[in-house]
Amino acid sequence: MTISAATAWRLDASALVEAYRQGASDPVTIVDLCLARIARIDPSLNAFVCLSPTARDEAAASAARWRSGAPIGPLDGVPIAVKDNLVVKGMPATFGSRLYAGTVAARDELPIRRLREAGAIVIGKTNTPEFAVEGYTSNDLFGVTRNPWAPALTPGGSSGGSVAAVAAGLVPVAIGTDGGGSTRRPAAYTGLVGLKPGIGHVPRADGLPQVLLDFEVVGTFTRSARDAALLDSVLSGPDRADPASRCPSDAPAADRPLRILSVERIDANPCDLEIVTALHAAADAFAALGHQVTRSELPFDSAGLAAIWSSIAEIGLGRLLAVEPDFADKVNPKYVAMARRGAERSASDLLAIVETVAALRRQVSEGFADFDLILMPSCAAMPWAADTPFPDRIDGHTVGPRGHAVYTGLGQCRRASG
């Protein structure tokens, strides 16, 4: 039975691979469908910033492999979108900035190589705010990206282009990065499964500068948990190019009911009622499944990370200011100002940040001695206007630029297997 175009765009990657295996569809048909939907729908969303010139040829090669019964990997022929701060051979990697506009990458960075080796077809690059340091998605080079469910609203950031592409059915799966919530919040805003793995779980090498130190990792966006597991099986695992990936991962949880800590709020930071209600429903669902759910506060102090987070980004941009001669002329003035503040920081300031992070990571590790999972909101605010950097009010309270993101920074503090 052949899968029709009317239904094929709804399939997840796992179903597509099964359709290829059964001869119900083929990679050329699916890539053509994706390109047609991008041409028709994306002008109103602005998820993609460029498309691959070789996607259809790659699809034809994949289709030939399937016909001969010799797929090269578990993603053979699956179209995938890649955030524009990741390096893909033969395509731009602009980081959402005019600083890198016009350059074409001569190599794939490590996660992209793994995807290609598994047979995935990179169909295009997706929009991100400049240097991926914002919680919405817009930049001077490509403009505003919009939420497929409500185009007046943001899909979040900084992986907004990737989530918009998957949520709109333009591709079945996508990858992005997460430094302080850039997979988890956008996934929440578009109804997707967003996985932000632990540091070192997905090795990285040969990419653009990592402005957020080791906080930034490669994450995935899918429509199903099984696709998240499928992509993780391809992307994860040690590589000598990334020493962090060669550390032993945490042992899997015992085959028993999980010990879950449900945390409604951090330090009384405001959170929209709809999100808190959803958190309670999730905790109730876990309890109904037989897991042990404790409702309490975090067993560690998160205020130290919140106090230094902006400085981390500023120091990272300060490094780019020092090594990129055109930075001040080509970068948005907001980020130039951030970079100049970062450049004024001392070595002592940076060491103090490193010490604060190390201390918090120790506290988090100790906190997980008593719990297998900590359940918290991914976002503090529901989606806001697409062209606005952040909401200035949450649940009736005035908040600053990171008010919507207070819950996701802590996801960086535990090195885990995912």
> Which pLDDT belongs to residue 417?
37
Distance CA 295, CA 288 (A): 15
**158 belongs to the catalytic site:** yes
Nearest to 304 by CA among 273, 266, 253: 266
Nearest to 31 by CA among 3, 60, 70, 74: 60
pLDDT at 416 over 70: no
Query: Residue 194 belongs to what H/E stretch?
Result: strand 193-195
**Facing residues of 48 across strands?**
126
Percent of the chain residues topping a pLDDT of 70: 96
Tokens of 309: 């987070």
> Which pLDDT belongs to residue 251?
58
Indicate the pLDDT class of residue 411, thresholds 50, 70 and 90. low
> Which pLDDT belongs to residue 305?
87
Catalytic residue, candidates 25, 83, 125, 302 = 83
Distance CA 369, CA 392 (A): 37
Catalytic residue, candidates 52, 162, 182, 302 = 182
Catalytic residue, candidates 14, 62, 138, 158 = 158
- Render pLDDT for 38-50 as a digit per residue (tens, 0 to 9): 999 999 999 999 9
**196 belongs to the catalytic site:** no
Indicate the pLDDT class of residue 199, thresholds 50, 70 and 90. very high
Strand ordering across the sheet containing 173-178 = 48-51, 121-126, 79-83, 173-178, 217-222, 193-195
Give the DSSP letter of residue 341.
Answer: H
Distance CA 227, CA 236 (A): 14
Cβ contacts of 268 within 8 Å, gap of 6 or more: none
pTM above 0.85, yes or no: yes
**44 belongs to the catalytic site:** no
- Render pLDDT for 333-344 as a digit per residue (tens, 0 to 9): 999 999 999 999
- Render pLDDT for 132-176 as a digit per residue (tens, 0 to 9): 999 999 999 999 999 999 999 999 999 999 999 999 999 999 999
Tokens of 93: 């990697």
Distance of CA 53 to the CA centre of its chain: 24
Nearest to 321 by CA among 93, 84, 99: 99
